[in-house]
Chains A and B, each alone.
Chain A
């Protein structure tokens, strides 16, 4: 079933809100010294959207009785900052050739992506109620043919970075100014295909490519460092020829800074240190919440904690 489009007010709202956030972020950078707590208008707006997205994720997973809630909650601030604070996309014209490309390589966190896309106005948020229902366009992993705003079908891990590398390569060949963003899970970096692409992107000098690693240190079965250790992750990316930035992946202003363009002519790896299950106390940093489904009571508690 094709997804319903959003109403015009939502699209206009996205344009207005993204403009306000970007303006506020710029103002904040200019006056950062005067605002040591960095509680700025931009951060507040992004935090508000992120809370909306997290609440929507909890409701979707509650309704579907399945999903990947821990990773959804860890990646939410990255998604929201990309779509509202950084990228140039047009929800009313999702295939606009000059758009920035966004690839969610950790496709199992589709609920967070769908919530963000719906919030932006790529489709009617009412559609989120169909998440993983029979014949819904909103599959457990994103499908670009069915969901506007999705650039490639992910779900099998280790696929996003090569595809994003191809996008960035095309932009370079065409001397185009659009950028490519890809969000990778940290556990996913155990797939060798990522490192094939990491080499190629550096070799080709793809400075328009930004890879964000959702470094929550947990994978499906255990801690990454107890499974197949990734540290020192910054050193790994650096040694592959990337410009590396390490940030708190829940700090919207820090993410805004980290997601700015390359300063070295090399592709940029943003290692976003995050907390799996962020925002729901009993889920935070707990491996079992990779894809556990909350009870009705837990859903109530989660939504209360996410009330802001």
Chain B
């Protein structure tokens, strides 16, 4: 039994929906736009409260994102709520042209990202979204790790006046964010002090990184744990400091290893302060059948996997 298993865990869609309803009750410009995804985006409560402000375009993701850009043009603040794989894959060009390039204040909420749809398979997995969307200019990419960060992200995005992509986690996670943690672009959250190795984790991997750090501490290894809710723009200063002050960096994310957090950290490190790195994520394969917990362990996206990577960096293999 691991430490995280004993703590309460949360599906962040609940926090997402509560915060959105709270915001919408204060600001009538806020609307939700979905693609037959009222249930899967946990928008039933929103619909009951604001039936005229929930727009369902049907199963049509290109139209979904284009309509949101048009709503923004006319002064609404649309929260586009759709399963992350279809939102980002099917409508990628609309995200680029209609939202990011057109500087539309649209909040793209990728529901059930990563491998949250486990057994439904790679068509329903969204492990490419972070790579795709980091490649798009003028789009902030936020990956909350728990309900606190999810709420903060929903609030921050309403006032951002710029394009935002927000992953809304479905796979249950414990609370990890300290009460006084910052939530802003280029602001990492320091979760554990440490000076041997740094682990930078986002989303579902954050609590696993903490578990790894706690277990390694018992073995005499001091692990710094950083979390970057803003994947883009990332906190380069915190990354560079970690590269300088510890012996190496391990990144961990529920996403493909080509282009997400690992790539962002690696580019920063290579440019400013080269250090050994290990990048944990889904390697460039399509996942086999299995539930989310199984798949995370399968790809070594676990405390055990992080511990092994930290030891590898230290040469303790």
- Binary interface profile of A, 204-231, with partner B (CB < 8 Å = 1, else 0)? 0000000000000000000000000000
Q: Is B193 an interface residue (CB 8 A)?
A: no
Given A155-B97, A162-B62, A192-B62: A200 touches B74 (CB 8 Å cut-off): no
When distances are taken between beta carbons in the complex, the residues of chain B under 8 Å from A199 are 58, 60
When distances are taken between beta carbons in the complex, the residues of chain A under 8 Å from B103 are 144-145
A169 with B63: CB separation less than 8 A: no
B62 with A153: CB separation less than 8 A: no
Interface segment, one of B64-72, B219-227, B277-285, B290-298: B64-72
Q: Is A168 an interface residue (CB 8 A)?
A: yes
Closest A residue by C-beta to B70: A166
- Binary interface profile of B, 199-221, with partner A (CB < 8 Å = 1, else 0)? 00000000000000000000000
Closest B residue by C-beta to A167: B70
How distant is the Cα of A249 from the Cα of B213 in the complex, in angstroms?
A: 70
Closest A residue by C-beta to B63: A196
Given A145-B102, A158-B62, A193-B62: A164 touches B57 (CB 8 Å cut-off): no
A193 with B66: CB separation less than 8 A: yes
Instruction: Tell me which of A97, A101, A159, A171 has the highest count of chain B C-beta atoms within 10 A of its own C-beta.
Output: A159
When distances are taken between beta carbons in the complex, the residues of chain B under 8 Å from A120 are none
- Binary interface profile of B, 85-122, with partner A (CB < 8 Å = 1, else 0)? 00000000110011001111000000000000000000
How distant is the Cα of A163 from the Cα of B52 in the complex, in angstroms?
A: 19
How distant is the Cα of A221 from the Cα of B103 in the complex, in angstroms?
A: 32
Closest B residue by C-beta to A173: B52
How distant is the Cα of A157 from the Cα of B204 in the complex, in angstroms?
A: 37
B97 with A156: CB separation less than 8 A: yes
A163 with B62: CB separation less than 8 A: no
CB distance from A211 to the nearest CB of B (A): 13
B73 with A196: CB separation less than 8 A: no
Q: Is B244 an interface residue (CB 8 A)?
A: no
When distances are taken between beta carbons in the complex, the residues of chain B under 8 Å from A163 are 66-67, 69-70, 73, 98
Contact among B57, B60, B65, B76 for A170, CB-based, below 8 A: B76
Given A153-B98, A192-B62, A193-B62: A165 touches B70 (CB 8 Å cut-off): yes
When distances are taken between beta carbons in the complex, the residues of chain B under 8 Å from A192 are 62
CB distance from B207 to the nearest CB of A (A): 38
When distances are taken between beta carbons in the complex, the residues of chain B under 8 Å from A75 are none
B102 with A162: CB separation less than 8 A: no
B67 with A162: CB separation less than 8 A: yes
How distant is the Cα of A165 from the Cα of B72 in the complex, in angstroms?
A: 12
How many chain B residues have a CB neighbour from A under 8 Å? 30
Q: Is A197 an interface residue (CB 8 A)?
A: yes
Closest B residue by C-beta to A144: B102
How distant is the Cα of A159 from the Cα of B64 in the complex, in angstroms?
A: 11
Instruction: Tell me which of A144, A165, A166 has the highest count of chain B C-beta atoms within 10 A of its own C-beta.
Output: A166
How distant is the Cα of A166 from the Cα of B55 in the complex, in angstroms?
A: 10
Q: Is A80 an interface residue (CB 8 A)?
A: no
Q: Is A293 an interface residue (CB 8 A)?
A: no
When distances are taken between beta carbons in the complex, the residues of chain B under 8 Å from A161 are 66
A154 with B66: CB separation less than 8 A: no
B73 with A167: CB separation less than 8 A: yes
A196 with B71: CB separation less than 8 A: no
B57 with A200: CB separation less than 8 A: yes
How distant is the Cα of A16 from the Cα of B38 in the complex, in angstroms?
A: 50
When distances are taken between beta carbons in the complex, the residues of chain B under 8 Å from A167 are 70-71, 73-74
A152 with B63: CB separation less than 8 A: no
When distances are taken between beta carbons in the complex, the residues of chain A under 8 Å from B78 are 166
Q: Is A188 an interface residue (CB 8 A)?
A: no
Q: Is B75 an interface residue (CB 8 A)?
A: yes
B73 with A101: CB separation less than 8 A: yes
CB distance from A158 to the nearest CB of B (A): 7
CB distance from A177 to the nearest CB of B (A): 13
How distant is the Cα of A197 from the Cα of B71 in the complex, in angstroms?
A: 14
Closest A residue by C-beta to B68: A166
When distances are taken between beta carbons in the complex, the residues of chain A under 8 Å from B104 are 152
- Binary interface profile of A, 135-147, with partner B (CB < 8 Å = 1, else 0)? 0000000011100
A159 with B73: CB separation less than 8 A: no
Q: Is B172 an interface residue (CB 8 A)?
A: no
B62 with A151: CB separation less than 8 A: no
A200 with B58: CB separation less than 8 A: yes
Given A153-B101, A169-B55: A162 touches B94 (CB 8 Å cut-off): yes
How distant is the Cα of A158 from the Cα of B61 in the complex, in angstroms?
A: 13
Q: Is B53 an interface residue (CB 8 A)?
A: yes
How distant is the Cα of A154 from the Cα of B71 in the complex, in angstroms?
A: 16
When distances are taken between beta carbons in the complex, the residues of chain A under 8 Å from B58 are 196, 199-200, 203
B53 with A162: CB separation less than 8 A: no
How distant is the Cα of A173 from the Cα of B31 in the complex, in angstroms?
A: 10
CB distance from B30 to the nearest CB of A (A): 12
When distances are taken between beta carbons in the complex, the residues of chain A under 8 Å from B63 are 162, 165, 193, 196-197, 200
Beyond the given pairs A163-B66, A165-B63, A196-B58, 20 more chain A to chain B contacts, judged by CB atoms under 8 angstroms and listed by A's residue number, are A101-B73, A144-B102, A152-B73, A158-B62, A162-B67, A162-B94, A165-B70, A166-B66, A166-B69, A166-B70, A166-B74, A167-B73, A170-B71, A170-B73, A173-B52, A173-B53, A193-B62, A193-B63, A196-B57, A200-B58
The interface of chain B, by Cβ under 8 A from chain A, is: 31, 52-53, 55, 57-58, 60, 62-63, 65-76, 78, 93-94, 97-98, 101-104
A-B pairs with the 6 shortest C-beta distances? A166-B70, A162-B66, A170-B74, A196-B63, A196-B60, A166-B67
